Structure 1
Amino acid sequence: MDIEFTTENLDDRDRIPFWVDVASQAFYSHEFETSGSSFEGRLTSGVVDNIALTRCDCGPCVVTRTRSDTLRDDLDNYIFSIRLQGRSALRQDDRTIMLEPGSVILHNVCKPLKIEFLEQTSSLHVSVGRELIRSRVGDLDAMQVLSRGAPTTGLAVDFILSLAERVAGVDETLHPRIANHVIDLISMAVGADGYKREISAPRELALRRLKSEIEKCLADPNLKPARAAGLAGMSVRYANMLLAEEGLSLERFIVQRRLERCRQALADPHQSRRMIGDIAFAWGFSDHSHFTRRFRAAFGMTPAEYRAQHGLAKARA
């Protein structure tokens, strides 16, 4: 990643105001306190499609995000954080978590929080839209503390650390696919590790399990509501009741996720030579005309028009 900002060459009197401005843009609006004017910090970042990777190295300080701050920038993100060095205390929802080297958390920036950096710290953060995680594992209201020793969390951490080192040299046309992998890995880490250790409502657990089973089988044309519900160990009626809180039915959710996978493939330059029908069939649609109608209803244009809109020379049907 490229260096965006460092306090190294600034006068002491300029360091804090410049740092607060840049850090607010990189993360979110917040209040900042530190003792003295010799604060040192560095931010490095890179954008991969719809996610942002940011490494933050900073000295002792206190960051407070108030309710007014959340209203000011109106962000709707989660941040997946990997602590590389140093200790800090993060407080959100009347709960305080001590972060040490190796700690991994997912927290919601829509809500107030306070972080006290106790010493020189280094962290790698992934900022991702909350809906992108929510569509995979449901809404995560509480801060999720993950175990890096868990296989899925370790896999996500290793991939993200490797990506941060190599992202500058990655072909930008691959960014959407890579970002999707990152979001999937974070979601799997939360689904497999986080909620098992954090007691959640049975309905929330059931919804996450249902969505996880659907994601695994999207490409199977035989994935119908009854089979999806059965894989998740519930009735179709209960599955529909869970999804109704999001304005969806089981059938609509399956189609929605298939359409999203097709949309991603159609915008991918590396798949531009694939027939549109082949993409549709690969993601579980068995009828080309039905797929086209569904796609137009969801995105306001035909699959061919969508592909052409993304600069892929001649759309193939």
Structure 2
Amino acid sequence: MSLVLTTASVHDRDKIAYWRDAVGRTLGPTAVAPRGDGPFSGRITTDRLGCLQVSTMEADAKRVSRTPELIARSSGAYTVVGIQVSGTATLVQDGRRAEVGEGDLVVYDTTRPYSFDYPDRFSTHVFQVPRRVLGVPGADLRRITGTAIGPADGLGVVLLPFLRTLATSAHAYSPVVGAKLADSVIDLLGTLVAERTRQVPTDTDATRALLVRRVRSHIDRNLGDPDLSPEDIAKTHRISVRYLHRLFEGEGITVARFVQQRRLEECARELARRGRTTPTVSAVAQRWGFVSPSHFSRTFRAAYGLSPREWRSLRTVEDSVHGVAEGGDGPRRGVPPVADLPAADHQ
């Protein structure tokens, strides 16, 4: 079901404040400066397809910027693809300036400062992909940010119609189909980066990179399954366990440890959330694939230096003190990386 945020029923004097909060919740902390003196009008519709967030934004003229200070308040790192549906925009990032017309595509990175200027009312599709699943080196990604790609420009011939159709129909797909479509977007975006940077990997390199991305996406979709194991993952992808381990040698982490790391990160995020209802620590652990509460507590402490209950208390206090509300699906405060984990045993 789509999430719709609109100024339509908001009092004129509150529209700007509402819109700033809506943009922050959807796209992460940004500074929004409307142009013009009249009542502001805006609408954002958002859907999820696996790890991909798809939004369509229609609004009056404005300027949007993301500063180092706002980036420091963010918990997630995303590669974003924007498609200009109507109106025009100017994107500035990494020292480049892109004039974006109707039908054009731009790529930008939420971990570095950028700004968008929309001189008139506009509509745009926004696709947010977590950087961790994209599998593209930051240096390569930086080479294509701040440039506009037209519908007749290289891979744009294929990518733009596909993304436009996906944006208008995202609400209609089942979770299983949505996850597969998200994988396709990730693959196409990786191909776009390779094309624009004029890199032509060997068939072996391309196949390996594609398979690693699919395995990582499969793991993310199935973290709650306690039976998720290297054997299960290899069987699903019709490869041997030995070959699966070889794939992850290049990732600097074993498959089992990667599964455990991702489970711990999701548990840490959920424990840090505030809400009307607070699930028990054991319920959170079970939701993310840990069978034994005692094993979960030991593993969590080894990774974060705190017990799950201590982590929850500390993060709740920090959240109350800072009063920061983030957009997207991450926690209100960042989750530090998991390091020096004990050996995983698939619990």
The change in CA–CA distance for 1:129 and 1:277 in structure 2 (over 3 A counts) is closer
Using the alignment, how far apart are the partners of 1:165 and 1:280 within structure 2?
31
Corresponding letter in the other structure for 2:207: C
Using the alignment, how far apart are the partners of 1:85 and 1:279 within structure 2?
45
For the 8 Å contact 2:136–2:190, the answer to whether it is kept is: no
Q: For each residue in 1:174-217, what CA deviation from the matched residue of structure 2 results, as whole angstroms up to 9, or x when unmatched?
A: 3322211111112222322x224xxxxxxxx4xxx43x734643
Using the alignment, how far apart are the partners of 2:210 and 2:165 within structure 1?
32
Query: Hey, what does 1:173 align to over in structure 2?
Result: 176
Matched, 1:105 2:61: no
Consecutive unaligned residues of structure 1, counting only runs of 5 or more, are 197-204, 219-252, 302-307, 311-317
SS in 2 for 1:217: helix
The change in CA–CA distance for 1:11 and 1:47 in structure 2 (over 3 A counts) is same
1:195 to 175, 194, 197: 197
Q: For each residue in 1:26-57, what CA deviation from the matched residue of structure 2 results, as whole angstroms up to 9, or x when unmatched?
A: 11212222222411111111011111000011
The change in CA–CA distance for 1:133 and 1:26 in structure 2 (over 3 A counts) is same
Q: For each residue in 1:253-306, what CA deviation from the matched residue of structure 2 results, as whole angstroms up to 9, or x when unmatched?
A: 79956854774797799xx9xx94973672365679999xx64354349xxxxx
Using the alignment, how far apart are the partners of 2:57 and 2:127 within structure 1?
11
SS in 2 for 1:128: strand
Consecutive unaligned residues of structure 2, counting only runs of 5 or more, are 248-253, 262-287, 291-347
- Structure-to-structure mapping, 1:104-253, within 5 angstroms: 104-135=105-136, 139-142=140-143, 143=145, 144-192=147-195, 194-196=196-198, 205=199, 209-210=200-201, 213-214=203-204, 216-218=206-208
For the 8 Å contact 1:262–1:283, the answer to whether it is kept is: no
TM-score, normalising length from structure 1? Answer: 0.67
Using the alignment, how far apart are the partners of 1:288 and 1:28 within structure 2?
35
SS in 2 for 1:90: strand
Query: Hey, what does 2:305 align to over in structure 1?
Result: none
For the 8 Å contact 1:262–1:279, the answer to whether it is kept is: no
1:279 to 231, 235, 249: 235
Corresponding letter in the other structure for 2:164: L
SS in 2 for 1:73: coil
Using the alignment, how far apart are the partners of 1:25 and 1:119 within structure 2?
23
Query: Hey, what does 2:328 align to over in structure 1?
Result: none
- Structure-to-structure mapping, 1:18-29, within 5 angstroms: 18-29=18-29
Using the alignment, how far apart are the partners of 1:158 and 1:141 within structure 2?
24
Using the alignment, how far apart are the partners of 1:109 and 1:289 within structure 2?
32
Using the alignment, how far apart are the partners of 1:300 and 1:3 within structure 2?
31
SS in 1 for 2:164: helix
Query: Hey, what does 1:80 align to over in structure 2?
Result: 81
For the 8 Å contact 1:57–1:122, the answer to whether it is kept is: yes
TM-score, normalising length from structure 2? Answer: 0.62
1:76 CA drift (Å):
1.0
Matched, 1:49 2:39: no
Using the alignment, how far apart are the partners of 2:180 and 2:153 within structure 1?
24
Higher relative contact order (CA 8 A, sep 6+): 2
The change in CA–CA distance for 1:67 and 1:47 in structure 2 (over 3 A counts) is same
SS in 1 for 2:235: helix
Matched, 1:10 2:10: yes
Corresponding letter in the other structure for 2:2: D
For the 8 Å contact 2:80–2:126, the answer to whether it is kept is: yes
1:67 CA drift (Å):
1.2
Using the alignment, how far apart are the partners of 1:102 and 1:290 within structure 2?
42
SS in 2 for 1:15: helix
Query: Hey, what does 2:294 align to over in structure 1?
Result: none
For the 8 Å contact 1:4–1:45, the answer to whether it is kept is: yes
For the 8 Å contact 1:214–1:254, the answer to whether it is kept is: no
CA RMSD of aligned residues (A): 3.8
The change in CA–CA distance for 1:290 and 1:46 in structure 2 (over 3 A counts) is closer
SS in 1 for 2:10: coil
